Structure 1
Amino acid sequence: MRRAERLHALTETLRRSGTRGVSAERLAREFEVSVRTVKRDLDALENSGAPLWSRPGPGGGYGLVDGGSLRPVTLSPTQAVALMAAVSAAPDAPYADLAAAGIRKIMDVLDPATRAHAHELAERIWVQAPPAPSRATRSALEEGMAEQRVIRLRYTAQDGVTTARDVEPVLFASTSGRWYLVGWCRLRDAMRWFAVSRIERARVTTMACSGHTVDEVGEPPENARPVHGGGGVTRSAPTRVPGTRTR
């Protein structure tokens, strides 16, 4: 988990602890870092303006000052469950961990009656989600895409051939129930589709991408579209998967 993501998750954990607070040792276990790292993160949060409090001694810990959390939001139980179902059904989607943290954040600030109704309704929805890639691999792909840096992959194609290659990430695409990283492969000097489930390892390099665009990927089918948080869709996202385009 990148430090920026950990700081965000740390803030959420502190907020959720309420007046009880949480110890540095527990935070270290939860985020799989040292106590020293946790205390550095807490200092960084406080320096950034987060309203932290600390209580020394046995039973002490850290928390957020009352009023330092989100205001209640207006959301119906069915809207809340729709968000939970979407995230639960796609744990392999890009940035799924951050989406799940966002859902927990929303649920926490709902009024008690709405939250209870949403949890009751959620019990009536079952999902059998696909296994997600390792957290390290997903973090590298997400970071490379967000920061537009070259990703070094170890990839095993459908025919069993394993290669190491540098890829400039262009887009994530979901088609036929699978997620793909689409990018410019420096080994093949061409645009390629990589099934995320076949990426064995991934590491973000310091090299910047050279500027390949979504338009270079190809013409998408009519029903393909980008993820969009607003009211309309501005353009389509390619989801056509060439049969042997990872060689």
Structure 2
Amino acid sequence: MKRAERLHALSEMLRRSGARGVTAERLAREFEVSVRTVKRDLDALENSGAPIWSRPGPGGGYGLAAGASLPPVTLSPAQAVSLLAAVSAAADAPYADLAAAGIRKIMDVLDPRTRAHAEELAHRIWVDAPPASSRAVRSALEAAMAEQRVVRIRYTSRDGATTTRDVEPVLFASTNGRWYLVGWCRLRDAMRWFIVSRIERADLTTLACSGHTVEEVGEPPETARPVHGARIA
């Protein structure tokens, strides 16, 4: 068993042991390694952020704090870098900041050798992405979508006209390199597509959306699909 696989299995065994815990000797027998190796693995798990507790003396042992949910992640360097590349190339995507934070957490719990290889490979990938839109605007739009609340936007159209509109967010869509907020415009009383980069200001209101659905927007083109159904090679 490779060390990364052993670390994953070790954390799962600690999790299953619950409040009882498990001794280093039992772990050593289970994984057919020395007690010294087990303790070194336990140190590695703890250094990666796993909330491991230890109880000395007879009846003591090791365990994982209740509520812990992120076991060591087993990824190849290429898999780890693919996540970094995807987020770096889509810095203007909805929730991109949260995605980047999640990937940093994943990188932190990789075993040191894999992380070092991933970081070396990452230096061989360059991304020339356009500047992201205002963080304040994106935060308001993301919150409005997640909480299904009306967002008030100041929007400049292609012809240069600027209006203030209350919008019920329905979905985010990406096409031709641009991100759109698609929602029910209360000013026009119709579904509208707003280019995110043209939204100069966005303020989250306390008003709940009235229930407009994705189906009202229509079917996506053949080359598009919701992210949960994206084809992964």
Q: TM-score over 0.5 for the alignment?
A: yes
The aligned counterpart of 1:198 is 198
Deviations 1:95-124 (A, max 9, x none): 000000000000000000100010111111
* Deviation for aligned residue 1:78: 0.6
Higher alpha-carbon deviation: 64-73 or 92-101: 64-73
The aligned counterpart of 1:24 is none
Between the two proteins, what is the percent identity of the paired residues?
Answer: 79
Counterpart residue type for residue 128 of structure 1: D
Counterpart residue type for residue 200 of structure 2: E
Number of paired residues? Answer: 169
Matches within 5 A, 1:34-53: none
Call closer, same or farther: CA 1:128–1:230 in 2, change over 3 Å: closer
* Deviation for aligned residue 1:131: 1.0
Between structure 1 and structure 2, the one with the greater Rg is 2
Deviations 1:40-91 (A, max 9, x none): xxxxxxxxxxxxxxxxxxxxxxxx8953774311111110000000000111
The aligned counterpart of 2:145 is 145
* Deviation for aligned residue 1:228: 1.2
Runs ≥4 residues deviating over 4 A: 229-232
Q: 2: CA distance between counterparts of 1:65 and 1:76?
A: 20
The aligned counterpart of 2:210 is 210
- Kindly indicate whether the alpha-carbon contact (under 8 Å) linking 2:89 and 2:127 is maintained by their aligned counterparts in 1: yes
Matched, 1:132 2:129: no
Equivalent residue of 1:228, what SS?
A: helix
Matched, 1:165 2:165: yes
* Deviation for aligned residue 1:135: 1.2
Please provide the CA RMSD for this pair.
1.9
Matched, 1:88 2:88: yes
The aligned counterpart of 1:243 is none
Call closer, same or farther: CA 1:186–1:81 in 2, change over 3 Å: same
Deviations 1:176-218 (A, max 9, x none): 0000000000000000000000000001101100110111112
Call closer, same or farther: CA 1:99–1:65 in 2, change over 3 Å: closer
- Kindly indicate whether the alpha-carbon contact (under 8 Å) linking 2:50 and 2:71 is maintained by their aligned counterparts in 1: no
Unaligned runs of 5+ in 1: 1-63, 233-247
The aligned counterpart of 2:112 is 112
Q: 2: CA distance between counterparts of 1:169 and 1:196?
A: 12
Unaligned runs of 5+ in 2: 1-48, 53-64
TM, length-normalised to structure 1: 0.65
Equivalent residue of 2:130, what SS?
A: coil
Q: 1: CA distance between counterparts of 2:190 and 2:98?
A: 31
